[in-house]
Structure formats: structure tokens, C-alpha cells
């Protein structure tokens, strides 16, 4: 059992609490499928020092039109934790994001079922425009 000394406002953020907050952050392209920045593999590191949190993120592409909104969302969600005093979010470019960074659950949500693909393939093979 964790023991907290002093008032709750003196408690420090936990890594698990920060990750739960990040689970509420969605790239607008993946919001409808409920794939968070954690599931996408965008979180490179989380550094907690006292009540200050620094998060390093990778982006799927440097051309993402929603990058600034995504960074704001991360700051808002993590900064909304009562134990957090400040949040710094930094985009890092090394390593680069690849599909292998995604969780199995995210991959499954992005997979199109074969029964939806088969009619499209058959129509293409018949020369029908889609």
C-alpha cells in the first residue's frame, strides 16, 4: 500500500497516472477508432521530476496537420492531473515512427476485414470504377 504524507496536493504524479491521461489523447485521424497516442506508439519517454512532467513524442509524419493540436491535447490532459504542476511536451525525430510501434490493439482496429475488401478487389478485377 502506498503511503502519502501531507495533503493530496503535495503528492507527486505517477507514471501510471500520466499514461492513463495519455490514453485520453487521440490523434484526430484515429479518434473515431479510439486509438490513443499510447496505442499509436507516439510516446517515446515520460520523465517525472517532483511535480513536473516531460514527455517526448514522435509523430507519424512531419507533415501532420494536427501536430500542434495533438501536443496541446497532451499538455491539457496531463496538466489536468491534480498532482502535476507543469508539463513539457517535446517532439523528437529520432527514432522515427514506424508501424511496429503500434500496439496490437491499434493494429487490429485499423485492419479492414477481408469480407469488406473482397468485393472491392473483385470489382477492380472486373474493371469497374469505384
Average pLDDT over residues 38-67: 93
Q: Which CATH number does 8-125 carry?
A: 3.30.300.130
Domain boundaries, the chain: 8-125
Query: Does pLDDT of 56 surpass 90?
Result: yes
Give the side-chain half-sphere CA count within 13 A for 89. Answer: 21
Name the DSSP letter for residue 39. T
- Please state, rounded to an integer, the average pLDDT across all residues of the chain: 87
Average pLDDT over residues 80-88: 97
Predicted pLDDT at 61? 87
Amino acid at each position: 500500500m502506498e503511503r502519502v504524507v501531507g495533503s493530496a496536493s503535495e503528492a507527486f504524479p505517477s507514471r501510471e497516472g500520466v499514461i492513463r491521461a495519455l490514453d485520453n489523447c487521440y490523434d484526430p485521424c484515429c479518434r473515431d477508432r479510439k486509438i490513443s497516442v499510447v496505442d499509436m506508439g507516439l510516446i517515446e519517454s515520460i520523465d517525472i521530476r517532483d511535480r513536473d512532467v516531460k514527455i517526448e513524442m514522435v509523430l507519424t509524419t512531419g507533415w501532420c496537420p494536427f501536430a500542434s493540436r495533438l501536443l496541446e491535447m497532451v499538455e491539457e490532459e496531463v496538466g489536468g492531473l491534480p498532482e502535476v504542476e507543469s508539463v513539457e511536451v517535446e517532439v523528437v525525430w529520432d527514432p522515427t515512427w514506424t508501424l511496429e510501434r503500434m500496439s496490437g490493439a491499434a493494429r487490429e482496429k485499423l485492419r479492414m476485414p477481408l469480407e469488406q475488401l473482397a468485393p472491392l478487389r473483385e470489382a477492380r478485377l472486373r474493371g469497374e470504377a469505384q
